[in-house]
Chain A
């Protein structure tokens, strides 16, 4: 990936919208990120060239095959022209008719095969390039700290890797070979034309370059229209997603009809806008076709008049021959064809550039990495309990962290023992959650040490240390996995159902699971649909209690809960602490803090 020295960031959203387009608007979004003074445009040209160099050979071969296939038409045309010229002159043709048939067909078959091979190489190139992007970018992004504020959003990275990266396929498959053909074919046909008749050459020469000119004009008009349409698509999608998330609410509030009406209006308005864009797009391709058709028609008419002897100029030494006339007429459409192909594939290039631009932008972002890489450290059930004690005491000394906003958080020194418990309190923004992240090695402190039984927490031992940690986040993100799988993430083989139910009991979550329709096999919605907020928190706590954790780090475990549920959660945490597990909570809740053996208070605001 490119290592551009630039720290500015482009708004993901604007990029994203631009990405979804289907026409050829060029991306030129200036930076409106955190630092508005710096403007940096990521054109993507450099990155695209770099990506192409990964599969340079395949791309070149694909282009060469495609050009070769197009050039073979010249020979086919010559064979046909020869046949008709011989017919008119009543002379024997260069090739006997049967041979003309065979050679014409063989050349045709060869062209089909060349095209097939060309697209095969382009496909291979696409696979290599796309696989490279997916692998490298993901590997690069995954080692970021989960708390890195410069990290791309989840949705942005997902859509970049899943959908946008795939946009390089059509670019390599359609645009690149068309580009090669457009470089070679018009020139080759122009040479043939001038060789036989300068008038035909001039006709083509004039009609050809006019096409890009008109295209540019029409494309210019299209840009404004399509941007409006893109906004509409984006807003319709947002509106639709909102309604889809609120499906149950629409149902219980009896708002079906009004929702449908509103959606219908929006869908129709989008349809009208899309048509406006399409009309302009059709107009531009119509212009293209018109020029191509006129070019062919003019060639035909000129050649016809010249053959009649009415026009005595244009060829060298008399009117063009019948052979030349037919030959040139057969070539004329193919003079325009590569240009038309290129125009059709133009938006593929615009898309590829936008993707490459986004990659450039991502490569240029500042990166904060975490300690370690989350690799697997072998661990068995038997020695777990023993191993977990070896990490204590946990001592923090002179610990200091500087946020990206240049705020310095200085932490008080403290020591926790293997069955101790600690509350971290303090106002919002004083660095409570940050301390939990530092203890888990998700962030790197600027100064000070965290030591575990006398050994410094560092790159070499952090993954091992983390195996003994349990993390209780504020919110639940159930993925597409069952409750059982969720409870077992990262656990060694052989955890029995009995152990799971015991953990559920410890967290007061047994009833929650028993009343789910499918028990441990239930799959909950992405935000925990089917269980209440308190129940979800208890399930997360149960997950922390599975196995024999050395430390539980809990972030605001009682926030947003009613008193009764909060009390249950507090008791669960305390009972875990009494069973030999070290519990560290970051909390606002005074009752929670008072139940912990130790407590530290952060004051914040050391700038």
Chain B
């Protein structure tokens, strides 16, 4: 409930005028419906009595009939206005929630972001947020409008007919609607959640079955998997049926409520008329109006049907809204023997501050499970290094020796368990993330190139970069021929840059980092997948493009290590 309430409050912010006006209009719509049916019933009965009494000529037919026509038209107009207003405001609020969510997501630590699955988060940002439109449109607005409507019509009925009729009708509707809502809220959550979960599970199983078809066939488990997928589909259908049953039962509660309300009104109004307390025409008014009262229940029914899904989505979106901005978790490092042989490059002049300085950096991971002879938890132990302006350092060594970890630490994506990292004379943890990204260019092992024009995906939002600078960066990674052939800076890159080869993609990502002209470059296997010639040319290009940058690269290959001024071998 808390999540639903919070999203309700978020939606209201900045939009409350629209919602208030929308609420007023939906209240008027209900009221006009009430008046329309009531007056029509009263009108026919009254004219019937007048006709029988032979006083038809004296009966004022024009005002009631004009009122009926006015109500019919006015109700329709109000309905249109109400829908447009409330939907507009809701869509605005949802657009804002989506933007906020993406922002919160981007504030998460790097390590967590690496594990984010695009398709899953997409589902939250689209389907889950879409489901939230019901909070306003199907829950709060109809509920508030219905409440206002019940109270005002009860007062009116009381004044026009009897307190007994007015309050009995109110009680029946309040109890019925309340029961229906309470039941839906209690019963619909878990089937909806189960349905959503099994749906995700089914999707995943289907994707896996198709993607891994070759592997599964070879392993002789394809038919077995197929049966498992069918079983998941059955569970999904079962959850769907359960969710539908809650909705159907809520429908019965509301349907019966409206029938009980009308039947009771019929009984009370006709007996009151027989007793002469009210006129037959007013009795007819009461009964017809009781039918209109049920109209407030219609939108509520839709709300109840959607309640399970809303509840579930609100919870999921709610957890995503709680941004974890905390710096990367520092593990409770277990001390282990030093595994790093450290070479500290000689700095020629100590007067000139090194661009990047690591002092006694230590970084540890929890022990991996089930690795015989494992137990080595320290990835980096007592590592120090200084890199000057224009100097390049290659970190070499086997996979897993901690090369990438050093780069993560230097980029501020991981926090050292102990030790300090300085950019010139400033400690890295004293910098804001935008200050960090302004002075450090980092090329991860894997990057994603966004689709769009070459220019867009190259500048990545940094609009201040001139085209000539872009071409410079492109030339430095030897991509100018390829991109010219593709059609220059305005050429379109396909989804996942399918129109570039593996090596071209790597160089494109490199250009993306170079373009930002930072004083420090951290490159994780920058020439992976390039042949030796190209690799050498690309490395020279980087040196020429950013002669003053301090460069640290994690390197597998001789070409990279040879190009660098200094090599640190990590064991």
B214 touches which one: A157, A274, A442 (CB < 8 A)? Answer: A442
B92 CB contacts on chain A under 8 angstroms = 271
One of A32-40, A185-193, A276-284, A574-582 at the interface? A276-284
Q: Bound complex: CA of A326 vs CA of B266, how far in Å?
A: 14
B224 CB contacts on chain A under 8 angstroms = 376
Known: A87-B273, A246-B448, A440-B218. A286 touches B208 (CB 8 A): no
Known: A104-B262, A252-B442. A166 touches B240 (CB 8 A): yes
Known: A275-B91, A489-B215. A245 touches B256 (CB 8 A): no
Known: A158-B210, A308-B56, A501-B372. A243 touches B49 (CB 8 A): no
Overall SS of chain A's interface: helix
Q: Bound complex: CA of A525 vs CA of B112, how far in Å?
A: 12
B248 at the A interface (CB under 8 A): yes
A300 at the B interface (CB under 8 A): yes
B84 at the A interface (CB under 8 A): yes
A247 with B116: CB separation less than 8 A: yes
Within 8 A of B (CB), among A223-267: 237-238, 240-264, 267
**How many whole Å from A35's CB to the nearest CB in chain B?**
24
Known: A514-B376, A517-B368. A375 touches B528 (CB 8 A): no
Q: Bound complex: CA of A97 vs CA of B269, how far in Å?
A: 10
A241 touches which one: B41, B119, B241, B264 (CB < 8 A)? Answer: B119
B125 CB contacts on chain A under 8 angstroms = 240, 244
A471 with B206: CB separation less than 8 A: no
A533 with B222: CB separation less than 8 A: no
B6 at the A interface (CB under 8 A): no
Report the nearest A residue to B451, measured CB to CB: A242
A396 at the B interface (CB under 8 A): no
B527 CB contacts on chain A under 8 angstroms = 562
A259 with B106: CB separation less than 8 A: yes
A520 with B371: CB separation less than 8 A: yes
**How many whole Å from A419's CB to the nearest CB in chain B?**
20
**Binary A-proximity of B31-55 (CB < 8 A = 1, otherwise 0):** 0000010001101111111111000
B88, B263, B288, B436 pick with most chain A CB within 10 angstroms: B263
A565 CB contacts on chain B under 8 angstroms = 556
Q: Bound complex: CA of A289 vs CA of B33, how far in Å?
A: 11
The number of chain A residues with a CB under 8 A from chain B is 152
B223 with A375: CB separation less than 8 A: yes
Known: A142-B222, A245-B118. A238 touches B270 (CB 8 A): no
Report the nearest B residue to A173, measured CB to CB: B244
B83 with A282: CB separation less than 8 A: yes
Q: Bound complex: CA of A105 vs CA of B259, how far in Å?
A: 6
Known: A250-B106, A489-B216. A286 touches B76 (CB 8 A): yes
Q: Bound complex: CA of A370 vs CA of B214, how far in Å?
A: 11
A241 with B118: CB separation less than 8 A: yes
One of A132-140, A346-354, A382-390 at the interface? A132-140
Within 8 A of A (CB), among B435-478: 436-438, 442, 444-452, 460-463
Report the nearest A residue to B207, measured CB to CB: A158
A5 at the B interface (CB under 8 A): no
Known: A80-B287, A253-B460. A514 touches B516 (CB 8 A): no
A290 at the B interface (CB under 8 A): yes
B156 at the A interface (CB under 8 A): no
Within 8 A of B (CB), among A491-528: 491, 497-498, 501, 511-522, 525-527
Q: Bound complex: CA of A83 vs CA of B41, how far in Å?
A: 13
A256 with B103: CB separation less than 8 A: yes
A244 with B118: CB separation less than 8 A: yes
A253 with B512: CB separation less than 8 A: yes
B529 with A562: CB separation less than 8 A: yes
B529 with A498: CB separation less than 8 A: no
A101 with B222: CB separation less than 8 A: no
Known: A131-B237, A290-B76. A307 touches B557 (CB 8 A): no
Q: Bound complex: CA of A379 vs CA of B527, how far in Å?
A: 45
A135 with B230: CB separation less than 8 A: yes
A283 CB contacts on chain B under 8 angstroms = 80
A183 at the B interface (CB under 8 A): no
Q: Bound complex: CA of A485 vs CA of B271, how far in Å?
A: 76
A268 at the B interface (CB under 8 A): yes
B44 with A303: CB separation less than 8 A: yes
Within 8 A of B (CB), among A129-185: 130-131, 134-135, 138-139, 142, 146, 154, 157-158, 161-162, 166, 169, 173
A489 with B528: CB separation less than 8 A: no
Q: Bound complex: CA of A245 vs CA of B99, how far in Å?
A: 16
Known: A296-B72, A308-B51. A515 touches B44 (CB 8 A): no
A105, A248, A270 pick with most chain B CB within 10 angstroms: A248
Report the nearest B residue to A127, measured CB to CB: B237
Q: Bound complex: CA of A471 vs CA of B218, how far in Å?
A: 8
Report the nearest A residue to B253, measured CB to CB: A112
Q: Bound complex: CA of A529 vs CA of B42, how far in Å?
A: 73
Known: A296-B72, A511-B399. A88 touches B372 (CB 8 A): no
Known: A88-B52, A275-B87. A157 touches B252 (CB 8 A): no
B44 with A490: CB separation less than 8 A: no
Known: A87-B283, A260-B103, A519-B374. A242 touches B450 (CB 8 A): yes
A173, A279, A477, A562 pick with most chain B CB within 10 angstroms: A562
B75 CB contacts on chain A under 8 angstroms = 289, 293
A87 with B61: CB separation less than 8 A: no
B284 at the A interface (CB under 8 A): yes
A169 CB contacts on chain B under 8 angstroms = 240, 244
Known: A105-B260, A308-B56. A260 touches B102 (CB 8 A): yes
Q: Bound complex: CA of A240 vs CA of B379, how far in Å?
A: 35
Q: Bound complex: CA of A100 vs CA of B274, how far in Å?
A: 15
**How many whole Å from A83's CB to the nearest CB in chain B?**
5
**How many whole Å from B287's CB to the nearest CB in chain A?**
7
Report the nearest A residue to B524, measured CB to CB: A532
Known: A240-B126, A304-B61, A511-B400. A105 touches B220 (CB 8 A): no
Q: Bound complex: CA of A501 vs CA of B83, how far in Å?
A: 64
A49 at the B interface (CB under 8 A): no
Q: Bound complex: CA of A243 vs CA of B496, how far in Å?
A: 11
A271 CB contacts on chain B under 8 angstroms = 91-92, 94-95
B98 at the A interface (CB under 8 A): yes
A123, A259, A440, A490 pick with most chain B CB within 10 angstroms: A490
B217, B365, B434 pick with most chain A CB within 10 angstroms: B217
B460 touches which one: A241, A249, A294 (CB < 8 A)? Answer: A249
Known: A112-B255, A256-B103. A533 touches B529 (CB 8 A): yes
A535 at the B interface (CB under 8 A): yes
A206 CB contacts on chain B under 8 angstroms = none
B530 CB contacts on chain A under 8 angstroms = 562
B47 with A374: CB separation less than 8 A: no
Known: A123-B244, A249-B444. A301 touches B65 (CB 8 A): yes
A322 at the B interface (CB under 8 A): yes
Known: A255-B462, A301-B65. A162 touches B202 (CB 8 A): yes
B487 CB contacts on chain A under 8 angstroms = none
B215 with A374: CB separation less than 8 A: no
Q: Bound complex: CA of A234 vs CA of B197, how far in Å?
A: 24
**How many whole Å from A584's CB to the nearest CB in chain B?**
14
A111 CB contacts on chain B under 8 angstroms = 255, 259
A319 at the B interface (CB under 8 A): yes
B220 CB contacts on chain A under 8 angstroms = 374-377, 379, 463, 466-467, 490
A279 CB contacts on chain B under 8 angstroms = 84
B413 at the A interface (CB under 8 A): yes
A-B contact pairs, 24 of them (CB 8 A): A84-B287, A88-B48, A97-B267, A109-B256, A127-B241, A146-B217, A162-B202, A237-B122, A245-B448, A251-B106, A252-B411, A254-B437, A279-B84, A326-B44, A372-B217, A376-B223, A466-B220, A471-B214, A490-B216, A490-B221, A517-B368, A519-B371, A560-B529, A561-B529
Given contacts A84-B284, A254-B433, A520-B368, 5 further A-B contacts (CB under 8 A): A166-B240, A256-B106, A307-B47, A490-B221, A515-B399
Top 5 A-B residue pairs of the complex, sorted by shortest distance between their CB atoms: A490-B219, A258-B461, A374-B222, A108-B259, A254-B437
